[in-house]
A and B are shown apart, each in its own frame.
Chain A
Amino acid sequence: MDHLLPYIPLLPLAGFLILAFAGRRLPGTVIAIIGAGSICASAAITLVLAVRFLQSPPDGGAYTQHVWQWISIGKLSVPFSLSLDALSLVFVFIITFVGALIHIYSVAFMRKDRDYARFFASMNLFVCAMLILVMADNLLLMYLGWEGVGLCSYLLIGFWYETPANSRAANKAFYITRIGDTAMAIGLFLLFKELETLNISEILSQSPAHFANDSNNITWIALLLLAGGMGKSAQLPFQTWLPDAMAGPSPVSALIHAATMVTAGVYLVARMHTVFELSPVAMTATAVVGALTLLVAGCTAVVQTDIKRILAYSTISQIGYMFLALGVGAWSAAIFHFFTHAFFKALLFLAAGVVIESLHHEHNIFKMGGLKNKMPVVFSCFLAGAAALAALPLVTAGFFSKDQILWYAWSAANGNVLLWIVALAGAFITAFYSTRLMLVVFWGEMKTQISEYPSRLMTVPLIVLAILSIVGGFIEWPHNLLHITLFSDHLQQVLPETSLKADLPPEIIFQVIAVLATFSAIWLGYYLYIKKTDLVHNWKQTPGNNAIIQFFYSGWGFDQLYHTLFVSPFLYITRINKADVIDQLYHGIARANVSMNRVLSVSQNGSLRWYVVGVLIGILFIITLQLIV
């Protein structure tokens, strides 16, 4: 089976190459077949491998395939070899399956775009880079995929490059993730300096012994890797690029948010779990970053009016949950939340794309409304997604994963009450803004007429994702209910089990509190946006409250902060150095030459008399010299 492994990233790469070089000459149907077909084929191969993997796990817990030797200099040996173990299987599954559904949806969504081929070429390369990232068996190959993902996100966010704002958003995403990437590169250098290998399994097996008496270095390495993950996963303080990344087409947002890119950070931390476990500081940092991010992004999502920005901030906040889970050592809970989040977030973005498209590209949710009966399919799909995001108990996938994280935030060895309270507050906020989004968009009166209805190619992926958002969580039940642990059993081949504190209160209390929080948030949303709509309106009138709303709306002022801290000083320096200090030196040399030339030019005045005098003086000079010497 191992020989099938390279084809998973290779097929999207082939799709990219064909579309990039011949795409302009191909008819639309062929482009769609190549673009979506390559990902579907990858998904089929993944399915075959996954079935085999689950039936009989391979020796050593991973399928590996050495493709070729990439770099070999001294002690540095970097093979181009892929490996598929329990953890990367989950990621590859999500990337190819959700990716395939998004591609099928895009076939109809992007049909009228004149850069149809360029779109699918970039999407295929995106998927290919992400697959290399998660299947790499060494960190340098992973870094290749890591950078490839960054490049493709740049290409796709700035897909409609004629609008300057879109290009700016693409640049912003590129610059900010670059900060994290640089930190990660330094982390890799440190790791190689210490262990003299970049092979992931060697790092994981050697580091406990190597770093036994050296907690300083390992903390630095873990923190640098964490910074890399935070950049890609849009965690505080690098979160500002993600809301602007909404400039791209809706399928791109779905792909970035659900299947690829932003989950790379989660994968990196989970992959290097041994390194993180060796450094309690880094673990705490991960948990705190996740907790802060989920709270900040959640509060921001509550006041946004652009449907895609609400979803963007909700992604940041959900990834915050994953980081929180990673930080407290609940490895499989984090990956499980990634698993369910991929379904419902892809669903929400694709459904939002449909809504935006059918309402003349209207993004403001307060200009929507009343779509419940007009678009029943989209409505029920969106409802499933929003319910999963709000973690509606027992019937949605989001509940099972988020409940686990809430439980571990308290009960895991690294967890504490504060993290649990923040996570609970985040859950309340999430449920509230999901309800608000749902009610404002689909209930009430219609404010914009529907211009077109989605085609079947667009609704089928929505339905599939909606079903997965409901049933996707049933493979892992809480310990006190049914006790099904298929997912964590699968992951525990790779990731360690979560260690719990002693003397814990029964889990059911936490679940009841979480459920109560969800329901009260839904009720609050219903009360404020259906029953007493004037309450919110009146509340907004007070200037003090309005200032709070503005503060949240701007994403806690991070953009302004970075503008004053980094952009303005830089612009100031460029302004005062407009004339370029170094250049002045060279200008000075040039000016000296020119002025000497002017001085000598005076002698060339065209007057014969002057020349005669010149000759005379010359002769006198020579004769005098002769007499003296």
Chain B
Amino acid sequence: MSFNPNTALIVASILLVLGLIGVLTRKNIIFMLLSVEIMLNAAGLAFVAAGAKWQQADGQVMFLFILAMAAAEVSVGLALVLQIYHQHKTLDVEELTELRDEHVNM
């Protein structure tokens, strides 16, 4: 079976949109973090597909970078999530609006 880059890009797009919807709709920070991971993987898949199409190794190199970055991001993100839970006893983003401009009555 031949590799079709277009199919891979469509799958990547679907993954990206799914991740995005996850980020936008989820209330829990951990699930938002998971959704971001999905979006990162969608981007990685797009890179790999592009690398396969032009027969270049660059796409796979970029995927390795994304992988390393995602690992670092998850560790930092999870540490932040832990801290947030310590301080606010909740992981609901709706509750965490401390950075709001005080003058605005929402």
Binding site for B on A (CB under 8 A): 598, 601-602, 604-609, 612-613, 616
Contact of B104 with A604 in the complex, beta carbons under 8 Å: yes
Contacts of B32 in A (CB 8 A): 608
Contact of B101 with A604 in the complex, beta carbons under 8 Å: yes
Contact of A601 with B103 in the complex, beta carbons under 8 Å: yes
Instruction: Kindly state whether residue B68 has any CB partner on chain A within 8 Å.
Output: no
Contact of B101 with A608 in the complex, beta carbons under 8 Å: no
Q: Name the distance in Å between A571's Cβ and chain B's nearest Cβ.
A: 40
What is the 8 Å Cβ interface bit string for chain B, positions 71-106, against chain A (1 contact, 0 not)? 000000000000000000000011011111101101
A616 to B104: give the CA distance in the assembly, Å: 23
Contact of B24 with A612 in the complex, beta carbons under 8 Å: yes
Contacts of A616 in B (CB 8 A): 20
Interface centre among A604, A606, A613 (most CB of B within 10 A): A606
* Pairs A-B, 10 closest by C-beta atoms: A606-B100, A606-B97, A604-B101, A601-B101, A606-B99, A601-B104, A608-B93, A605-B100, A605-B106, A602-B104
A73 to B59: give the CA distance in the assembly, Å: 88
A609 to B32: give the CA distance in the assembly, Å: 10
Q: Name the distance in Å between B12's Cβ and chain A's nearest Cβ.
A: 16
What is the 8 Å Cβ interface bit string for chain B, positions 43-62, against chain A (1 contact, 0 not)? 00000000000000000000
Q: Name the distance in Å between B56's Cβ and chain A's nearest Cβ.
A: 22
Q: Name the distance in Å between A428's Cβ and chain B's nearest Cβ.
A: 81
Partner of B101, one of A605, A609, A612, A613: A605
Q: Name the distance in Å between B43's Cβ and chain A's nearest Cβ.
A: 13
Contact of A607 with B97 in the complex, beta carbons under 8 Å: yes
Interface centre among B20, B96, B98, B99 (most CB of A within 10 A): B99
Contact of A598 with B103 in the complex, beta carbons under 8 Å: yes
Q: Which residue of A lies closest to B100 (CB)?
A: A606
Q: Name the distance in Å between B84's Cβ and chain A's nearest Cβ.
A: 11
A607 to B94: give the CA distance in the assembly, Å: 7
Instruction: Kindly state whether residue B42 has any CB partner on chain A within 8 Å.
Output: no
Contacts of A608 in B (CB 8 A): 32, 93, 96
Instruction: Kindly state whether residue B23 has any CB partner on chain A within 8 Å.
Output: yes
State the main secondary structure of chain A at its contact with B.
helix
A606 to B104: give the CA distance in the assembly, Å: 10
Q: Name the distance in Å between A377's Cβ and chain B's nearest Cβ.
A: 81
Interface centre among B23, B94, B99, B101 (most CB of A within 10 A): B101
State the main secondary structure of chain B at its contact with A.
loop
8 new A-B pairs (CB below 8 Å) besides A598-B104, A613-B24? A602-B106, A605-B104, A605-B106, A606-B98, A606-B101, A607-B100, A608-B93, A609-B23
Contact of B104 with A607 in the complex, beta carbons under 8 Å: no
Partner of B93, one of A601, A602, A609, A613: A609
Contacts of A605 in B (CB 8 A): 97, 100-101, 104, 106
What is the 8 Å Cβ interface bit string for chain B, positions 2-39, against chain A (1 contact, 0 not)? 00000000000000000010011000000010000000
A2 to B64: give the CA distance in the assembly, Å: 110
A616 to B21: give the CA distance in the assembly, Å: 12
Partner of A607, one of B20, B23, B93, B103: B93
A608 to B23: give the CA distance in the assembly, Å: 9
Question: Can you list 10 A-B contacts (CB < 8 A)?
Answer: A598-B104, A605-B100, A605-B101, A606-B98, A606-B100, A607-B93, A607-B94, A607-B97, A608-B32, A609-B93
Contacts of B106 in A (CB 8 A): 602, 605
A601 to B104: give the CA distance in the assembly, Å: 6
Contacts of B20 in A (CB 8 A): 616
A602 to B100: give the CA distance in the assembly, Å: 9
Q: Which residue of B lies closest to A607 (CB)?
A: B97
Q: Name the distance in Å between B90's Cβ and chain A's nearest Cβ.
A: 13
Q: Name the distance in Å between A447's Cβ and chain B's nearest Cβ.
A: 73
A268 to B85: give the CA distance in the assembly, Å: 93
Contacts of B104 in A (CB 8 A): 598, 601-602, 604-605
A606 to B24: give the CA distance in the assembly, Å: 14
Contacts of B93 in A (CB 8 A): 607-609
Interface centre among B96, B98, B103 (most CB of A within 10 A): B103
Contact of B23 with A612 in the complex, beta carbons under 8 Å: yes
Contacts of B103 in A (CB 8 A): 598, 601
Contacts of B23 in A (CB 8 A): 609, 612
Q: Name the distance in Å between B44's Cβ and chain A's nearest Cβ.
A: 18
Q: Name the distance in Å between A290's Cβ and chain B's nearest Cβ.
A: 72
A608 to B94: give the CA distance in the assembly, Å: 8
A606 to B93: give the CA distance in the assembly, Å: 9
Q: Name the distance in Å between A608's Cβ and chain B's nearest Cβ.
A: 5
Contacts of B100 in A (CB 8 A): 604-607
Q: Name the distance in Å between B72's Cβ and chain A's nearest Cβ.
A: 20
Q: Name the distance in Å between A277's Cβ and chain B's nearest Cβ.
A: 78
Interface centre among A598, A601, A602, A608 (most CB of B within 10 A): A608
Q: Which residue of A lies closest to B105 (CB)?
A: A602
Contacts of B24 in A (CB 8 A): 609, 612-613
A613 to B96: give the CA distance in the assembly, Å: 17
Contacts of B97 in A (CB 8 A): 605-607
Q: Name the distance in Å between A596's Cβ and chain B's nearest Cβ.
A: 13
A605 to B96: give the CA distance in the assembly, Å: 11
Q: Name the distance in Å between A615's Cβ and chain B's nearest Cβ.
A: 10
Q: Which residue of A lies closest to B94 (CB)?
A: A607
A578 to B100: give the CA distance in the assembly, Å: 39
Q: Name the distance in Å between A262's Cβ and chain B's nearest Cβ.
A: 65
